Amino acid sequence: MFSWPSRAVQLLGRHLVVLLSVVVGSSLALGALVWHAPGSPRGQHEGFVVWMLAFWKGLLSGDLGASYRGISVAELVFKGAAISLPIVLAALALSLSLAFGFALVVHGQSQIGSRFGRAVLHVTSLVPAFLLAYFAIIVLAVPPDGFLPSLFAVFILAVADGTLGDLSLRIEAELSILRRKDFVLSAELRGLSMPRRLARHLVIPLAEAGASRIGFLLGGAVIVEKVLGLPGLGWIGYQAAVEGDFVLLLAITVLVTALVGGSRLLVVGLRLVIDPRARRMLRGSA
């Protein structure tokens, strides 16, 4: 017999195993290509397997070897992540809060507001991030240094490439499903105040939507950072690809897949904390 916390650990452990397999699988697949590409680390290692093992060992200890130019990969990645991750997370937060506002407008009583909100969302989902960044450069003349480029990057990532539209419409759909549920109807009929009650049910869908967009934001960062000249992860990765610095590219890619997988794991954990049904499922499946 297990008590439920240990079952929760089991469940999270299962997800963790999947995450690790994804990371290992990704690094193996890309590593095999890198091994056969020009400028491969073949000279420095006995064989592919030995190299991969060294790579994973390094991944755990934080030493990822040296890049093409001889600079420590870990240092480069760390520097890039220090710029990119705050941008991506801020963009996600901004997008989620804007999306929540839009969802309320679209869902709201006012027909005109709803139509207008929907139209705005459809239009924003058409605009590519690189185009927005481009306009920021040539029309608004965003200077290449200072905090402005980061600020613009956050705004552009939050809005463009359909992120805002996707998040808003998902939240709106969730909201309207929720509003049709019997227990909500029953509470409305009794005259209970709704916002707090609904918010609790929206946390997990919100987190799920956010996690699903992390990948898009990290991908979008490649373009936006490049256009705005921000030396973040995306910029470093793109540069590494162009210059054939594949050891660096491998490290960045593995980090990105781990981030995407990790955000999914977070949602699973969050569900366990918030939703009594998820806890009950763990207890019940004895």
Partner 1 sequence: MLATKDPAASLEAALPSPELRLLRAYGLGTVFALTVLWLAAQFLAFEPQLGLQRVGAQLTPMAGPSVDHLLGTDQLGRDLLLRLVASVDSFYLPGLFAALVVLFLSVPAGTLLGYRDGGLLALVVSFLLTTLSSWPRLVLVVVGVAMFTAMVSDPAAWEEQRLFMLGGLVGLSYVPDLARALAARLRSLRQQSFVEACRAHGLSERSILLRHMLLTNCWRIVLRHCCLVFGAFLLVETSLSYLGDYGVPPPRPSWGNMLAGVKSSVLTSRGLIFGADSSLSDGLFLAVNQGGLLAVLAPSLAIILSIGGLLALAEYLARRDWR
Partner 2 sequence: MSDLLLSASELTLRAPIPASAGRLVPLLRDVALELKRGELCGLLGRSGSGKTLLARTLLGIGKVQGARLEGSIHYHSSANSAPLSLLSAAAPSPPAGWAGYIFQDPVAALDPMRTVADQIAESIALRSPGLSRRELLDRAEHWLQRVRLADPQRCGRLYPFELSGGMAQRVCAAVALAAEPELLVADEPTSGLDWSLRRGLVELLGEQCQQLGSTLLLISHDEQVVEHLTERVLTIEGGVLVSDQDGCLPRYSRPLEKRPEGDVPEHRLRLLRARGLRRSFVASKVNEAPVEAVAGVDLDLYEGELVGLVGESGSGKTTLGKVLLNILVPDEGELCFDGYELPGLAELQLRRLRGSMQYSYQQPGAALNPAMSIAQHLQETAQLHCGVTAAEAPTAALRALADFEMESKGDSFSGELSGGEQRRASLARVLMPQPRLLVLDEPSAGLDAEVKLRLLNRLRQGQGSESCVVVISHELELVSRFANRVLVMYAGRVVEELPPSSLDPAAAAGELHPYTDQLLAASFRSIRTIEPERRPKDPGGCSFRHRCHRVAPEVPLWQRCTNEEPVLVQGIGAGHRVACHLFENAVNLESQ
Q: What is the smallest separation between the CB atom of 200 and partner 1, expressed in angstroms?
A: 26
Interaction with partner 2 in 169-188: which residues (CB under 8 A)? 180-183, 185-188
Residue 84 neighbours by CB distance under 10 Å: 30
Work out the burial of residue 270: count CB atoms within 10 Å of its CB; fewer than 13 is exposed, 13-18 middle, 19 or more buried. middle
Q: Is 260 in the site for partner 1 (CB under 8 A)?
A: yes
Q: In the complex, what is the shortest distance from the CB of residue 10 to partner 2, in angstroms, rounded to a whole number?
A: 19
Among 155, 175, 14, which residue's Cα sits nearest to residue 95? 155
Does the footprint of partner 1 cover residue 194 (CB under 8 A)? Answer: no
What lies within 8 Å, CB to CB, of 27 at 6+ separation is 52, 55, 56, 250, 253, 254
Q: Which two tokens stand for residue 28?
A: 């193996």
- For 249-283, give the DSSP string: HHHHHHHHHHHHHHHHHHHHHHHHHH-HHHHHHHH
Any contact of residue 232 with partner 1 (CB under 8 A)? Answer: no
Q: Which does 86 bind (CB under 5 to 8 A by kind): partner 1, partner 2, none?
A: none
Residue from 9, 12, 26, 94 touching partner 1 (CB under 8 A): that is: 26
| In the block, residue with structure tokens 């992120």 | 163
- Residues β-bridged to residue 171: none
- Residues 6 or more apart whose CB falls under 8 angstroms from that of 148 comprise 142
Residue 139 or 196 with smaller CB distance to partner 2: 196
Question: Which is closer to partner 1, CB of 96 or CB of 220?
Answer: 220
Q: According to the binding rule CB under 8 A, does residue 191 interact with partner 2?
A: yes
> Per rule CB under 8 A, is residue 131 in the interface with partner 1?
yes
- Region near partner 1 per CB under 8 A, out of 63-71, 90-98, 179-187, 213-221: 213-221
**Cβ nearer to partner 1, comparing 28 with 273:** 28
Q: Which of 85, 241, 265, 281 binds partner 1 (CB under 8 A)?
A: 241
Instruction: Kindly give the residue spans of alpha helices, DSSP state H, lying in 162-275.
Output: 163-180, 182-190, 195-228, 233-243, 246-274
Phi-psi region of 39 (alpha: psi -120 to 50; beta: other; left: phi over 0): left
85's tokens: 């991750």
Smallest gap from Cβ 69 to partner 2, in A, equals 54
**Contact partner at residue 276 from partner 2, partner 1, none, CB < 5 to 8 Å by partner kind:** partner 2
Which residue among 253, 268, 271, 282 contacts partner 1 (CB under 8 A)?
Answer: 253
- Positions touching partner 1 (CB under 8 A) are 18, 21-22, 25-26, 29-30, 33-34, 36-39, 122, 125-131, 134-135, 137-142, 161-162, 215-216, 218-220, 222-223, 226-227, 237-238, 241-242, 244, 246, 249, 253, 256-257, 260-261
